[in-house]
A and B are shown apart, each in its own frame.
Chain A
């Protein structure tokens, strides 16, 4: 079956540090890939997505590139802020029904 594996947290960083969260997937066919973010006390929000190989999704300074050869979709941000403290979920959608398969989530804590 389909699955998503992402690095365990918490990841603790200082403000302005570089952030990488690794995500790899297993899926049949050509899934769409997503990063969702969950701020404390809130629901999930779509951060970025990519629908085919070599696509780069970007939003709010975050980027992720769909790498089919390595089945990966790593999230990166060059300079994090305290406001980026949240839980980040990698997810895939591999069928026409649009169902999402989520990774376990990675908590990111950014300190001043």
Chain B
């Protein structure tokens, strides 16, 4: 089984709809991240969390919110989706207590299309 899983893998929705993307990990890592990938822009950080009580905005948090329901679960919500949020979304984890705290492990991604 994959260590970092994302659901759904693909989603098509309409402008104005609320969408939740979910991420779960079995790696036991304390840190979790949400990125979006756009062609020609690489990956940009949306939100990150270092434990259940710690949530931080990243580079492009406007229009997004997150919830860290447990150490293993980190959800990303789009309260009112708009077409320019069409992108590939990745969840990632890292382990502060390891010898490589800045090495991140990525999920397979969720492709979101907002019509």
B41: chain A residues within 8 A (beta carbon): 104
Interface hub of B33, B42, B56, B104 (most chain A Cβ within 10 A): B42
Tell me whether A43 and B42 are in contact in the complex, defined as CB-CB below 8 angstroms, given that A98-B31, A98-B101 are known contacts.
no
Q: Does A27 contact B (CB under 8 A)?
A: no
The contact size tier of chain B is: 20 to 34
- A102→B43 contact, CB < 8 A: yes
Convert B74-115 into 0s and 1s, putting 1 for each residue whose CB lies closer than 8 angstroms to a CB of A: 000000000000000010101010001111111111000000
User: A98's contact among B4, B44, B58, B104, by CB below 8 Å, is which?
Assistant: B104
Interface hub of B40, B92, B103 (most chain A Cβ within 10 A): B103
B31: chain A residues within 8 A (beta carbon): 98
Q: Does B50 contact A (CB under 8 A)?
A: yes
The contact size tier of chain A is: 20 to 34
- A46→B103 contact, CB < 8 A: yes
- B45→A43 contact, CB < 8 A: no
A49: chain B residues within 8 A (beta carbon): 100, 103
- A98→B42 contact, CB < 8 A: no
B45: chain A residues within 8 A (beta carbon): 99-100
Nearest A residue to B91 by beta-carbon distance?
A43
Q: Does A73 contact B (CB under 8 A)?
A: no
B92: chain A residues within 8 A (beta carbon): 44
A93: chain B residues within 8 A (beta carbon): 102
- A46→B4 contact, CB < 8 A: no
A residues in contact (CB < 8 Å) with B: 4, 32, 34, 36, 41-46, 49, 89, 93, 97-100, 102-105
B residues in contact (CB < 8 Å) with A: 4, 31, 33, 40-45, 48, 50, 56, 58, 90, 92, 94, 96, 100-109
